[in-house]
Amino acid sequence: MTRAIPRPAGHPLLGMVPAFRHDLLGTLERTFREHGDCVAYRLGPARPRWLGRDVIAAYHPDDVARAMNDGTVFGRDTTGFTVIRESIGDGLLTRDGDTWRRHRRTVQPLFSRRRVTGYAALMAAEAEKIVDGPAMRPGILDLHHLMQRFTLRVVGRALFGDDIDNVVAELHELVPLLGEASTARRLQLFTIPLTVPTPCNRPLRDVRRRLFAVAERVLNGWSRESSPVADDLLSRLRGARDPQTGETLSEQEIRDEVLGFLLAGHETTAGALTFTLHELGRRPDLQDQIVAAVHEGGPAADVLARAAVQEGMRLYPPAHSTERVTLENTEIAGCPVPVGSQILISPWVTHRHPEFWPDAHRFDPSRFVREDRRPRYAYFPFGGGARACVGMQFALLESTVLLKALLSRFQVDTTQHDMTLAPLLTLRPAGPVLATVSRRARAPRVADVLA
């Protein structure tokens, strides 16, 4: 039997827009607790209907599984992806249909298990550079800044065949501006095409212009001869041919892919590492376990470090929400959902679903060591189905390598216990994430830690 979708009451004229602007994640979590696995959010006034829009959330893992896998019912032509396309160009994330398939086939070999394992030495060298570098002196430091630097260098060297230190500072400045301007556009009830320089459009137009210039700098600085990696992202993009027409990618298509990979390839992983270290900074016992396993050798250190990152991404999923649109009438959690509905999928909420996550708010990496049984889509920080994150293995390996290197040299103590979050394009800390680091005198033995 179907039931009407519950709708939390919002502002009389703006609906849920003020609540989403004020505290998106808190609002989603609270309304899930109050209404259950399917909730409709009105953006704009209730009447007339055309003055606003509805977003319908699917929180149960079974519905998430359908949304991620059933491309006949759930498409990607959503407000959110349109804003991303307008903001940073049309890359793999926002493309659809045959061009998406072709581009994905072009880049996929760079992320095969064998290739990703091959990046381990490069990741370890970059981790050593960070850990032994001048920024990592005992005392108080900003974990987020450090992790952004690390992940950008890794993605730069692995995918673009060179380090990209000359764009680090500018990306550091532009990423939060991009997040703020594009999130504001996403919550606007009416959008004027970005080609029109209105006061509302100007900040996003400026950020976009500067980001394109960054991508072009990376492109201009690259040459096949100077690249130390024989088969990198740019060689692949430049060498790609349409199987039917034999045409190569245009300069604009290449620029958009480069920018997409620069952003998707560092910001999310930097967040995952920052949040994980912030939580580990309250748990010296868990740090000791990882360090002891590192000193013991064997696979336990990888298992423990990886479990810590997985749990970090459960509580703080860097891709905190995504969207789909219904291509036909369907049901979500027993509620009828009409064709053309915007569907919100939020790992932030589903990763806290009490049916699948006992004591959901507690940071407990052992959930991923025990490999507890749960539905596949109770946990999906990397999405799923054909559109799952292409960089998943890359990000997991990079994070494991960094955690092992950093923790075996330093103990991390969380200095600032309240971390304010900014759920923009990705989930990021709203300011610096301060921790006190001190050099380890001697690593504990596994037996001592696990006793």
Can you tell me the distance from the alpha carbon of 283 to that of 429, in angstroms, rounded to the nearest whole number?
20
Q: Are 32 and 349 in contact (CB under 8 A)?
A: yes
Can you tell me the distance from the alpha carbon of 336 to that of 331, in angstroms, rounded to the nearest whole number?
4
Question: Residue 319 or residue 333: which is nearer to ligand HEM going by CB?
Answer: 319
Q: Which of 59, 261, 275, 377 binds ligand HEM (CB under 6 A)?
A: 261
Phi and psi angles of residue 40, each rounded to the nearest 5 degrees, phi first: -100, 130
Q: Which of 272, 401, 424, 425 binds ligand HEM (CB under 6 A)?
A: 272
Q: Which of 7, 30, 102, 104 binds ligand HEM (CB under 6 A)?
A: 104
Residues between 380 and 409 that touch ligand HEM (CB under 6 A) = 381-383, 387, 389-391, 394-395
Question: Residue 130 or residue 443: which is nearer to ligand HEM going by CB?
Answer: 130
Quick one: which of 277, 318, 302, 270 has its CA closest to 150?
Answer: 270
Q: What is the Cα Rg of the chain in Å?
A: 22
State the nearest-atom distance from the C-beta of 18 to ligand HEM, in Å.
26
Structure-block tokens of residue 161: 């065949």
Question: Applying CB under 6 A, does 92 fall inside the site for ligand HEM?
Answer: yes
Can you tell me the distance from the alpha carbon of 429 to that of 431, in angstroms, rounded to the nearest whole number?
5
Q: Which of 24, 93, 280, 378 binds ligand HEM (CB under 6 A)?
A: 93
State the nearest-atom distance from the C-beta of 268 to ligand HEM, in Å.
3
CA within 13 Å, CB half, 160 = 28
Q: Which of 152, 171, 234, 319 binds ligand HEM (CB under 6 A)?
A: 319
Can you tell me the distance from the alpha carbon of 123 to that of 393, in angstroms, rounded to the nearest whole number?
13
Structure-block tokens of residue 410: 């330093």
Question: Applying CB under 6 A, does 350 fall inside the site for ligand HEM?
Answer: no
Question: Residue 6 or residue 384: which is nearer to ligand HEM going by CB?
Answer: 384
Q: Are 41 and 15 in contact (CB under 8 A)?
A: yes
Can you tell me the distance from the alpha carbon of 166 to that of 179, in angstroms, rounded to the nearest whole number?
22
Q: Which of 318, 365, 423, 429 binds ligand HEM (CB under 6 A)?
A: 318
Question: Residue 287 or residue 321: which is nearer to ligand HEM going by CB?
Answer: 321
State the nearest-atom distance from the C-beta of 14 to ligand HEM, in Å.
26
**In 10 A of CB 35, how many CB atoms?**
17
State the nearest-atom distance from the C-beta of 396 to ligand HEM, in Å.
8
Q: Are 267 and 424 in contact (CB under 8 A)?
A: no
Question: Applying CB under 6 A, does 161 fall inside the site for ligand HEM?
Answer: no
State the nearest-atom distance from the C-beta of 140 to ligand HEM, in Å.
25
Residues that bind ligand HEM (CB under 6 A): 92-93, 104, 155, 260-261, 264-265, 268-269, 272, 313, 318-319, 322, 381-383, 387, 389-391, 394-395
